[in-house]
Amino acid sequence: MVDSVGAARVVGSTDLGSSTTFPIINAPPIGAAYGGGNNDAFAALISTTLSGKGAGDFATFLGGSGTDLGTGVAIDVFGNTYIAGTTNSGNFPLSAAPNPLPYQSQLTGSQDAFVTEFTFNNSGVNGLKVTVPTTSPSPQPSVAAGTQVAFTFTITNNGPDVANLVVFNATGIPTSGLASTPTAKVTSGSGSCGSVVGQIISCNIPTIAVSATATVEVDMTPAVPITVPNPLSISGQASANGGPFGALVRQLPAVQVTDFAITASPAAQTITAGDTAAFQIVFTPSSSYGYNATITPSQTTAPSMVTATAPTFNPTTVTLSGSGQASTLLSIPTIARPVNTGSLFRRGTFYATWLPIGGLSLAGFGIGMTRKRRRWLIGAVLCLIAGAVAMQSACGSSSSTSTTTGGTQAGTYIVTVNGSAGSSASHTYQLTLTVN
């Protein structure tokens, strides 16, 4: 019989003459030596994809002091080998605790059938082993909130057998504080991973050959603001061939989730229309692990404000690297409002001045004039008085003050500064600007 990885499972019988020449490979203690009698059964697994004695191969005797014949072979879904045959050996090798005890422990006649299972051995340091590569987690030792972090596990089959139906469990997945649902994938070897259930993501790997490895990557993105357990870590464990899970292996070092905050100096200020408001915007890492990103600032003002030019940041972007701060200057240039002014001359003043001047002028002309001319002068004076009376209404409404609009209107404005680290974190800070 040939299994799913191309290994041949062979069963048969060998006689006393071959007791010292039969090639024994990776045999258990019960099959390392010929049992006796005329015949012993044998079982073997021979790799057909590796040259020479492939890792995981075995060849073993199976029998007691009587005659033992192997007649059939089968495998289960885990790749375990089952040998069937007949025996008349009263001391046929039987399993003992902690393995399952035999269904029938002694002969019920001169001859009985037998079924023996050869299970795979992939446990402990000499079997299936889960380790964490030095590059995991990535990035390390810190990750910015809103940025994906990858946890990688390597599953190595140290033998002596092929590991079939490998199940890997990533455990300790956070149930909150993530920007999206965590996922896992088999990045080396064949296999697939399911969705998170509770705090576990399970991956199924059909087979891992002896001395071969498979790699599983678990991806998650801490949300903004940080509410995920910090520092962040998960664990992994694996089983093969239907056996129990091995010990949990924790991702170390754990990754520190970092963020940044925005402050301003001053947080509020008062200016006169026409002046430029200036705020120093400061970006600070939220922990001693620092923060590494280029942050782009922007601003909005409510209510809308009339400015000489658009508000500017200098520099236009800031870069946080490590645990140090970085800052930029926000400048908001306002426009002076025009002063209200009246007309250069008031009509009432003009007419009040013109009337006596005109009267005196006419009176001066009348000195030394003849009687006839005096009559003419008196008429002119009367005309002057009549004109003044007619213009009296104009004197009463002579104010011509003009009101103009424009400039930055007086009031209190809320300036919201936003700092965006690309697809990662984004934070805001509010300033107060009062314009007189």
Indicate which CATH number applies to the domain containing 310. Answer: 2.60.40.10
Domain boundary, last residue among 78, 94, 119: 119
Assess whether 49 and 152 both reside in one domain: no
Assess whether 419 and 296 both reside in one domain: yes
| CA distances from residue 323 to 125, 143, 261 in whole angstroms, order as listed | 41, 13, 12
Give the Cα separation of 107 and 110 in Å (integer). Answer: 7
Assess whether 305 and 200 both reside in one domain: no
| Helix, strand or coil, per DSSP, at residue 16 | helix
Distance of alpha carbon 50 from the chain centroid: 43
What's the pLDDT band for 356 if we cut at 50, 70, 90?
A: low
Assess whether 82 and 220 both reside in one domain: no
| CA distances from residue 49 to 6, 46, 133, 403 in whole angstroms, order as listed | 6, 9, 29, 98
Q: What is the reported pLDDT for 341?
A: 47
Longest CA span, the chain: 181
Domain boundary, last residue among 196, 227, 258: 258
DSSP state of 193: E
Assess whether 302 and 430 both reside in one domain: yes
Assess whether 299 and 222 both reside in one domain: no
The CATH number of whichever domain residue 205 belongs to comes to 2.60.40.1510
Q: Do residues 182 and 220 make contact, with C-beta atoms less than 8 angstroms apart? A: yes
Does the structure show a pLDDT above 90 at 223?
yes
Summarised one tens digit per residue, pLDDT across range 143-183 is 999 999 999 999 999 877 778 899 999 999 999 999 999 99
| CA distances from residue 8 to 3, 4, 74, 373 in whole angstroms, order as listed | 7, 10, 11, 152
Assess whether 325 and 372 both reside in one domain: no
Assess whether 73 and 50 both reside in one domain: yes
Lowest mean pLDDT among 26-40, 232-246, 364-378, 384-398: 384-398
Q: Do residues 293 and 322 make contact, with C-beta atoms less than 8 angstroms apart? A: no
Assess whether 277 and 417 both reside in one domain: yes
Q: Is residue 343 situated within a structural domain?
A: no
Does the structure show a pLDDT above 60 at 194?
yes
The number of domains in the chain is 4
Q: Is residue 243 situated within a structural domain?
A: yes
Q: Do residues 269 and 415 make contact, with C-beta atoms less than 8 angstroms apart? A: no
**Domain encompassing residue 373:** 363-395
Domain boundary, last residue among 233, 258, 283: 258
Give the Cα separation of 146 and 257 in Å (integer). Answer: 9
Specify which of 2-6, 104-108, 332-336, 343-347 reaches the highest per-range mean pLDDT: 332-336
Peptide linkage before 93 cis (omega within 30 of 0):
no
Lowest mean pLDDT among 238-242, 325-329, 385-389: 385-389
